[in-house]
Amino acid sequence: MSILPGGPRRPHDPLPRPALPARSSRPWLLIGPVIGLCLLTGCGEKKIDAKLDSIAQELFSPRRTPEQYMIVAVSAEDADIRRDAITRIARADHHKKEWAIKGFMAIACLESDAQTRCVAIRALARTGDPRAAETVLKILNYRDHPAEEVYPPSELVRWDAAVALADLLAAGQVPEEQMELARTTCIQRLRYDTDRHARIAAARGLGSFPDAEVIATLIAALRDDDFAVVHQCEESLVRLTGVTHSTDVAAWEAWQEGNAEQLFAQAGTVPEQRRPPYSNSVEKMAYETRDVVEWLWPGPAK
């Protein structure tokens, strides 16, 4: 029986089928540089042995299926190997399969390595599955759940979970029964989270809730020490109200007091200050061309 790539040759096959990409024929060439790198970075003998063992397993082991990678992702002792395995699943066409979603949920909640956990959160959010919102809400409200159900998240994990929640809200992928919890979670994250990225994402998420308490929370957060948070609060306020005050807290508070009964009367409109100076593609092209010409030949200073 033929061992040519692609299976047995048939009489009418003029050429063999193309072979799948193979692993390096001389993987041992990598061992020397790895040892040198480990020594330079101060790795102990046990760490070198463990790293070489993991590299050897990767180089010489047969190709795994996505299901096998999931087993590796939940069982390997090395966090780098777990992260690599979950990344491979997230990039594959199988990431929306039921077994993959359940694996992402378990890793997102219980993984001890922050980066591996973040990969699972991002992959889960990409599926758009209703359980994605449930999972990130559980992570962001971890104090409300037993320790065996959700591992306390680091700042990095809270960042990714808050971004995932904001993305799911923007895409309309948060189930109706979880919207109130999502609203209160975003409010709490914006008010109290110590990570700036989590606060930014929470402010973006609040842009999905036309609610008086949300408006008050966003206006109060315009006093945040981080301008990126302030900017996102302004963006969400504009999205909800159709009004802008260019991050001026006093102006927003005066507007809120004077429009308490009609906070959302102009929702969906673009404030005049933000409207572009053109109304169609031809005018846009002329405007951008004029900008380029003025940049190349600025002329005398005014």
Cα(269)–Cα(203) distance, integer angstroms: 20
Q: Which of 139, 120, 142, 128 is nearest to 74 (CA)?
A: 120
Structure tokens, 66: 């996505």
Q: From CA 171, how far away is CA 107, in angstroms rounded?
A: 23
Please name which of 124, 133, 75, 122 lies closest in space to residue 98, comparing C-alpha atoms: 124
The Cα-based distances of 19 to 5, 26, 58, 196 in angstroms read 5, 18, 20, 49
**Is there a contact between 116 and 87 (Cβ–Cβ < 8 Å)?**
no
Q: How far apart are CA 246 and CA 59, in angstroms?
A: 56
Nearest-10 crossing angle of helices 98-110, 79-91 = 140
**Helix-then-strand count for the chain, H and E:** 14, 0
Domains observed in the chain: 62-199 (1.25.10), 210-273 (no CATH)
pLDDT on residue 151: 96
Tokens coding 278 = 């053109």
How far is CA 86 from each of CA 93, 135, 275, rounded to the nearest angstrom?
13, 17, 44
pLDDT in single tens digits along all 302 residues of the chain = 333 344 444 444 444 444 444 444 444 455 555 455 555 555 566 666 666 666 666 666 667 787 888 888 888 899 999 999 999 988 887 778 899 999 999 999 999 999 999 999 999 999 999 999 999 999 999 999 999 999 999 999 999 999 999 999 999 999 999 999 999 999 999 999 999 999 999 999 999 999 999 999 999 999 999 999 999 999 999 999 999 999 999 999 999 999 999 999 999 888 887 778 777 888 788 888 888 888 888 877 65
Please report, for residues 40, 59, 176, the alpha-carbon distance to residue 34 in angstroms, rounded to integers and kept in the order given.
Answer: 10, 13, 52
- The per-residue pLDDT for 61 is 63
- Residue matched to tokens 């990130």: 136
The pLDDT assigned to 15 comes to 44
Other beta carbons within 10 angstroms of residue 185's beta carbon come to: 21
Q: What is the pTM of this model?
A: 0.74
